[in-house]
């Protein structure tokens, strides 16, 4: 191997998969003012909605997550991304709660996004995807699309909204935009606005995609290829931010992987091999234009913006019960940002629990086996169920 | 908000000594006495709530909307995992973030002597809450006095049971000291009592002088006068 040898990421287009979805023919008017003529929300549910329709929990996924929370993924064939948290007997117990997760607006697992065929042209033109012409969406738009789904499912109030990272942003958006629809909110490893540092990291990822010759100004479907190298580099850079120095050292150290050294770059450090693997598997399940679209939505996020930065004003009068969770080694969404949310909720006299979980696994901790986190989530939901009058057992059916 | 601490401050004493920032709790002793002073259905903030036993007690037996702050993350996790609304925070740092009059009672149980700024913490308590319930170990107890007098060493009793270099109790006071502070700050003492370490009421209720000699702990119910 020599300098400049690319990763083995295939640049074949993504496979087409049919996702369970609902289509809203009246579309959705976005925050930017543009009206999407047709809104598709792809989603999965687990468990059973009870008679009072009071046991529904909405899970909000992160930047590169999707609706396949607790089941085999139809594209990757791997288990659900939150199998350890959602399922029968898990902290989010599907034998007790009705769990919903929707692919975000702008995503690429069946919901309306840059891969969808555009709906703003006359019937006489041949249909083509939105690509980079897809309107700029915001976290609020994503939540508005989820609200349509919740209404469609006949649920007036969600027992809980739970999400980590960008999912946590959606939780905060739900709690401030539809406060009466959220009994309990669990924003995990998140922030009330995207920091300059995080915008900077996102920009590195976007520039990597733009720089890929296969990107073709976002119209890569025309060449039947995908900007796999650019997207993989974006993923690799982002992946570093999801871990911690300690975790990388513990997992890989300075260990070399295989082969004899034939030149300056003959050997590969294990950490390099790991990142390349992360990059090359990612491009087989994620659309580059979706990545551009969703990272932008995160960058725009600022809950306090409409209140001159006063976060407490955004939560004024809230009756939602909050559980804020951060992780000690998360430097992408550090504890200080969670604490700022907790303090704003204090100023709004809200009912708030706030826990920082001790771990060296960085931002990704919320996806990993963290027993203290799982116990916290379980206990918080149990306490809330008591206050919401959601009894154990029979009538939760 | 610049300069917010990201983790509770610990005084590192090296491997041999445990961190001493946290106050050993024995909620069972105070719980009954404190709960007796709280009206049913009140909004309560328990500052330094430990694993939240008092909160749970107040919710289940008195129908209170009780919440807690605790500096020790292990205790916080235990409390939240038990379904109690507790947040990690510090009496010195976090009370200022609550709005005026948010609670009917702010409880500070055996923590006052361990905070950095006891007077400011009391001021904050009576800003965010109509009443303050404060308990603390009495440094004026006769055993303290006699040990210091007779041995010339720092007292060591069942209440003050850690050596001077490992105690979290950086601001010890006596019952009479506390009365003096209340007078200076303009707080009305609605009720007070002195108890022994086991939480039993002691019969010197009418005399602060006697209570200051024989009471191991004191409990005060304050409001702004």
Tell me the CATH number at A28.
3.40.50.1820
Mutate to test the interface with A, among B83, B90, B92 (most CBs of A within 10 A): B83
Facing B83 at nearest CB: one of A328, A344, A380 = A380
Which residues on adjacent β-strands are paired with residue B132? B106, B222
Contact residues, chain B, for A335 at CB < 8 Å: 6-7
Instruction: Indicate whether B102 pLDDT > 90.
Output: yes
Domain contains A364: yes
Facing B6 at nearest CB: one of A336, A352, A353 = A336
Judgement on whether residues A332 and A385 belong to the same structural domain of the protein: yes
The structural domains of chain B, with segments of one domain joined by +, span 27-224
Q: What percent of chain A has pLDDT over 70?
A: 94
- Nearest chain A CA: its distance from B76 CA (Å): 7
Facing A355 at nearest CB: one of B83, B88, B97 = B88
* pTM of the model as a whole: 0.90
Q: Where is the domain boundary, A297, A328, A362? A: A297
Instruction: Please state the ipTM of this predicted complex.
Output: 0.86
Would the CB atoms of A358 and B73 count as touching at under 8 Å? yes
Q: What percent of chain A has pLDDT over 90?
A: 88
Domain contains A9: no
Q: Where are the alpha helices (DSSP H) in chain B?
A: 27-36, 53-62, 73-81, 91-94, 118-128, 142-151, 175-185, 208-214
Q: Give chain A's domain count.
A: 2
Contact residues, chain B, for A356 at CB < 8 Å: 7, 73, 88
Judgement on whether residues A105 and A52 belong to the same structural domain of the protein: yes
Contact residues, chain B, for A191 at CB < 8 Å: none
- Give the domain range for residue A219: 198-297
Look at residue A265 in the predicted model and tell me its pLDDT: 63
Residue A184 CA to residue A380 CA, distance in Å, equals 9
Look at residue A346 in the predicted model and tell me its pLDDT: 95
Of the candidate ranges A82-96, A300-314, B20-34, B115-129, the one whose mean pLDDT is the lowest:
B20-34
Among A residues 304-323, those touching chain B with beta carbons less than 8 Å apart: 321, 323
Would the CB atoms of B81 and A378 count as touching at under 8 Å? yes
Domain contains A11: no
Judgement on whether residues A227 and A178 belong to the same structural domain of the protein: no
Look at residue A119 in the predicted model and tell me its pLDDT: 84
Look at residue B6 in the predicted model and tell me its pLDDT: 39
Judgement on whether residues A282 and A331 belong to the same structural domain of the protein: no
Contact between residue B139 and residue B174 where contact means Cβ atoms under 8 Å apart? yes
Facing A356 at nearest CB: one of B88, B98, B102 = B88
Look at residue A222 in the predicted model and tell me its pLDDT: 94
Look at residue B159 in the predicted model and tell me its pLDDT: 82
Active site residues of A: 165, 330, 363
Judgement on whether residues A335 and A369 belong to the same structural domain of the protein: yes
Contact residues, chain A, for B63 at CB < 8 Å: none
Residue B80 CA to residue B76 CA, distance in Å, equals 6
Judgement on whether residues A189 and A210 belong to the same structural domain of the protein: no
Instruction: Indicate whether A137 pLDDT > 60.
Output: yes
Would the CB atoms of A336 and B77 count as touching at under 8 Å? no
Domain contains A2: no
Contact between residue B118 and residue B132 where contact means Cβ atoms under 8 Å apart? no
B11 in contact with A, Cβ within 8 Å: no
Would the CB atoms of A383 and B84 count as touching at under 8 Å? yes
Q: What CA dihedral angle connects B185, B186, B190 and B191, to 10 degrees?
A: 30
Contact residues, chain A, for B77 at CB < 8 Å: 355, 357, 372, 375-376
Instruction: Indicate whether A72 pLDDT > 90.
Output: yes
Look at residue B13 in the predicted model and tell me its pLDDT: 39
Among B residues 90-149, those touching chain A with beta carbons less than 8 Å apart: 94, 97-99, 102
Instruction: Indicate whether B195 pLDDT > 90.
Output: no
Would the CB atoms of B1 and A378 count as touching at under 8 Å? no
Of the candidate ranges A247-251, A318-322, B203-207, the one whose mean pLDDT is the lowest:
B203-207
Judgement on whether residues A135 and A47 belong to the same structural domain of the protein: yes
Domain contains A31: yes
Of the candidate ranges A225-239, B64-78, B136-150, B186-200, the one whose mean pLDDT is the lowest:
B186-200
Look at residue B25 in the predicted model and tell me its pLDDT: 47
Cβ pairs bridging A and B (under 8 Å): 79
Q: Where is the domain boundary, A245, A262, A297? A: A297
- Top CATH class, B27-224: alpha beta
Judgement on whether residues A269 and A337 belong to the same structural domain of the protein: no
Q: What is the mean pLDDT of chain A?
A: 93
Q: How far is CA A181 from the centre of its chain?
A: 21
Judgement on whether residues A27 and A135 belong to the same structural domain of the protein: yes
φ, ψ dihedrals at B216, nearest 5°: -85, -30
Look at residue B203 in the predicted model and tell me its pLDDT: 66
Contact between residue A168 and residue A190 where contact means Cβ atoms under 8 Å apart? yes
Q: Where are the alpha helices (DSSP H) in A49-195?
A: 139-152, 166-177
Q: Where is the domain boundary, A269, A297, A325? A: A297
CATH of the domain at A279: 1.10.1740.110
Look at residue A395 in the predicted model and tell me its pLDDT: 44
Contact residues, chain B, for A384 at CB < 8 Å: 83
Look at residue B33 in the predicted model and tell me its pLDDT: 86
- Nearest chain A CA: its distance from B75 CA (Å): 10
Look at residue A25 in the predicted model and tell me its pLDDT: 94
Domain contains A15: no
| CB atoms near residue B204 (< 10 Å) | 17
């Amino acid at each position: 191997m020599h300098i400049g040898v690319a990763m083995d990421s295939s640049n074949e287009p993504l496979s087409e998969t049919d996702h369970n979805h609902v289509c809203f023919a009246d579309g959705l008017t976005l925050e930017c003012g543009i009206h999407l003529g047709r809104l598709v929300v792809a989603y999965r549910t687990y468990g059973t909605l009870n008679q009072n329709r009071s046991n529904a929990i909405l899970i909000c996924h992160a930047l590169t997550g999707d609706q396949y929370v607790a089941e085999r993924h139809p594209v990757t064939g791997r288990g659900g991304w939150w199998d350890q948290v959602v399922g029968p007997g898990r902290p989010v117990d599907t034998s007790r709660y009705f769990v919903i997760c929707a692919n975000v607006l702008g995503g690429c697992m069946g919901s309306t996004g840059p891969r969808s065929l555009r709906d703003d042209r006359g019937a006489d033109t041949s249909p083509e995807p939105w690509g980079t012409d897809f309107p700029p969406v915001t976290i609020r738009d994503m939540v508005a699309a989820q609200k349509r789904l919740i209404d469609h499912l006949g649920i007036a109030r969600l027992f809980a909204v739970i999400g980590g990272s960008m999912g946590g942003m959606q939780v905060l958006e739900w709690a401030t935009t539809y406060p009466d629809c959220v009994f309990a909110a669990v924003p995990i490893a998140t922030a009330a606005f995207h920091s300059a540092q995080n915008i900077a990291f996102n920009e590195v990822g976007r520039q990597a995609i733009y720089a890929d010759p296969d990107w073709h100004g976002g119209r890569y479907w025309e060449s039947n290829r995908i900007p796999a190298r650019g997207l993989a580099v974006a993923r690799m850079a982002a992946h570093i931010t999801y871990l911690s120095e300690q975790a990388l050292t513990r997992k890989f150290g300075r260990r070399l992987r295989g082969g004899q050294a034939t030149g300056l770059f003959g050997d590969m450090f294990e950490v390099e091999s790991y990142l390349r693997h992360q990059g090359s598997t990612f491009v087989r399940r994620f659309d580059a234009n979706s990545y551009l679209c969703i990272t932008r939505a995160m960058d725009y996020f600022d809950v306090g913006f409409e209140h001159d930065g006063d976060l407490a004003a955004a939560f004024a009068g809230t009756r939602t019960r909050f559980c804020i969770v951060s992780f000690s080694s998360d430097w992408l969404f550090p504890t200080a940002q969670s604490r700022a949310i907790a303090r704003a909720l204090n100023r709004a006299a809200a009912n708030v629990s706030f826990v920082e979980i001790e771990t060296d696994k960085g931002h990704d901790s919320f996806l990993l086996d963290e027993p203290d986190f799982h116990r916290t989530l379980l206990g918080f939901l149990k306490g809330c169920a008591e206050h919401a009058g959601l009894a154990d057992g029979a009538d939760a059916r | 908000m610049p300069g917010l601490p990201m983790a509770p401050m610990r005084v590192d004493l090296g491997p041999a000594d445990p961190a001493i920032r946290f106050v050993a709790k024995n909620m069972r002793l105070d719980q009954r006495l404190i709960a007796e002073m709280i009206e049913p259905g009140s909004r309560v903030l328990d500052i330094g709530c430990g694993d939240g036993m008092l909160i749970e007690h107040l919710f289940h037996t008195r129908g209170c909307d009780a919440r807690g702050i605790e500096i020790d993350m292990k205790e916080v996790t235990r409390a939240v995992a038990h379904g109690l609304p507790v947040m990690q925070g510090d009496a010195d740092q976090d009370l200022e973030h609550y709005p005026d009059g948010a609670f009917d009672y702010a409880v500070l149980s055996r923590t006052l002597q361990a905070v950095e700024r006891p007077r400011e913490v009391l001021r904050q308590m009576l800003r965010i809450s109509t009443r303050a319930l404060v308990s603390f170990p009495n440094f004026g107890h006769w055993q303290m006095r006699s040990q210091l007098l007779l041995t010339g060493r720092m007292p060591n009793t069942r209440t003050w049971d850690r050596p001077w270099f490992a105690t979290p109790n950086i601001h010890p006071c006596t019952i009479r000291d506390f009365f003096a502070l209340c007078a200076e700050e303009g707080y009305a003492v609605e009720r007070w009592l002195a108890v022994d370490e086991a939480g039993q009421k002691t019969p010197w209720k009418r005399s602060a002088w006697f209570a200051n000699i024989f009471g191991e702990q004191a409990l005060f119910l304050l409001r702004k006068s």
